[in-house]
Structure formats: C-alpha cells, structure tokens
Structure 1
Amino acid sequence: MSVKLVTIATFEYVADLQVLKTKLESEGIQVVLKDENVLNSDPMISHAIGGAKLQVFREDAERAIEIYDTIRSYAIGDDGLPIKCPNCGERKSERYYSRKNIFHKLFPFFEKRKYKCLNCKMITKP
C-alpha cells in the first residue's frame, strides 16, 4: 500500500516551516517534513534543494491549504497594502520565481520581481 503525500508548501528556512507545522498539527492534521534535517545541518543549500517541504496526506490537503491561507503572509506593494491581482482583484499574491535558467536557480533574488495570484494563478509584474 502506497501512502500519498502532497507538498503544500516549501520554505527557505526551517523556522518558518515550524510555524505552519504547529498550526496544522493543532488542527489535527498529520504533517511530514521533507529535507528539514538537511537544512538544519547546512542552511546554505536551501536554494539548491528547493527548501524544506511540508507534506500532508492527500485527503487532508484541501483543509491544510485553507488553514495555511489563514496564516500566510502575502506580498506587500510599495503602498503598504497587499498586491492586488489585475485579473481577479484578490489580494492574495506571493512573490514568484520562474527559475528558468541555472543562474536564477542558484540566485533567484536576481530575477525580476513577479507575483503569482493564489486565487487565479496569474503571474504578473509590478
């Protein structure tokens, strides 16, 4: 019998991962952490391995994402307000890295700023 796990979030730092893990476990959702110990031993390789992953069982994924959305911090614009999606109007966007080439995979902070709407999935530039 195979266990079906779904990655619902990835984090550059393990400390950020622990906040969501604690919240989900307090709501009764079992959590599996992937690459957490690797980053604890060498945090400098976070970008190389894609960060630490938080996984839940497939049947809990939808509820876990809803809980994550309640505590997630969204991208903030120059005006101090959350970025508004030009397509759907929601203010639920996160910074987006396409990482199309090896340079941007290693150094995503050099990539031009983009945002991905978590509602309609549209990718926009500011």
Structure 2
Amino acid sequence: MQSKKKSTPEKFYTLGAFEFPADVQVIKGRLESEGIYVYLKDENFLNTDPLVSQAIGGVKLQVYTRDKDKALKIYDEYRRYAQDDNGDPIVCPNCKASRSEVYYTRKGYLNKLFPFFEKRKYKCLACGMITQPQ
C-alpha cells in the first residue's frame, strides 16, 4: 500500500497594490519575462467594478514566496514612490530616504469598509518608519 504524500500549497507574497488593473500590467509583464509567475488578486473584480478599488485595497501584485527576492529587485526598478502635492518625493524624517509608499493601517470596522476615511500615512521602504504628513 502506497502512502499519499501531501503537498503543501504554495504561498504568495504581495509585492504591492495598484488602484486599477491597467496600472500593474507593465511590471507584471516584466516579472513574467524573467520567468516569475504573477497572480493579480482582485483583478477581475475591479475590471467589473473599478469604483470599489479603494474599498478593497486595489489589485494586489503577488508572486510565489520562493520568487520574492528576485521579484522585489525587479519591482524596485519600476516602483513609483509617494509624492507630495507639489510632485516632490516624500522624505523620511528618520533616515532621509525618498522611498516611501502610501500606507493605511485599516484598523477598525469603519476603516476596513471605507479606507478613504483613514488619514493618509507614509511608510519608508528604507527604514520602515510610518509617518503622517502635517
């Protein structure tokens, strides 16, 4: 009698989230050209109703965790960093890096349903500090 070997399911790592499905297509193509499988979570849902993008956190660009490091290196070449109202990059007050992304904690029932009510914060990708503009 042969024992059946259980395989563990592959885990995904989310590289980033994009407001609209079209915004992610360039980086998706670049990752796939390097042999990295890409999954776009919530893409079909947002193609049918793009107005709920903020409510569900946009299209999530995901790769297998085994490809995470290679994918992050490629993604960092294309990543758009947060900018202020004048188009200048957001500078981290801790490490002075200009590599920040918009960050939402989505804590609380109201912010999970309506994330646009939460005050905008920024997370520095160099040191991890989360700041809120004045």
Shorter-chain TM band: 0.7 to 0.9
CA contact (8 A) 1:6 1:58 kept: yes
Residue 129 of structure 2 aligns with an amino acid whose one-letter code is M
Partner of 1:68: 75
1:123 maps to amino acid: I
Is the partner of 1:22 in helix, strand or coil?
helix
Alpha-carbon contact 1:10-1:54 (below 8 Å) kept: yes
1:28 paired with 2:35, answer: yes
> Which residue number corresponds to residue 116 of structure 1?
123
* Structure 2 stretches lacking a partner, 5+ long: 1-6
Asked if the contact 1:99–1:105 (Cα under 8 Å) also holds between the matched residues in 2, the reply is yes
Q: TM-score normalized by structure 2?
A: 0.80
- Do the aligned partners of 2:100 and 2:124 also contact (CA within 8 Å) in 1? yes
Q: Which ranges of 4 or more aligned residues in structure 1 deviate by more than 6 Å?
A: none
Identity of aligned residues (%): 60
Q: CA deviation at 1:102?
A: 3.4
Structure 1 stretches lacking a partner, 5+ long: none
C-alpha distance 100-66 of structure 1, shift in aligned 2 (>3 A)? same
The answer as to whether partners of 1:115 and 1:123 remain within 8 angstroms in 2 is yes
Matched, 1:91 2:127: no
The size of the alignment, in residue pairs, is: 126
Larger radius of gyration: 2
d(CA) in 1 for partners of 2:60, 2:39: 8
Cα distance in 2, alignment partners of residues 124 and 37 from structure 1: 33
Q: How far has the Cα of 1:56 moved from its partner?
A: 0.9
Contact 2:54 2:116 survives alignment (8 Å): no
Aligned to 1:101: 108
Q: Any conservation in 2 of the 1:47–1:106 contact (CA below 8 Å)?
A: no
CA distance in 1, matches of 2:83, 2:11: 34
Structure 1 length normalisation: TM-score?
Answer: 0.85
- Cα RMSD over matched residues? 1.9
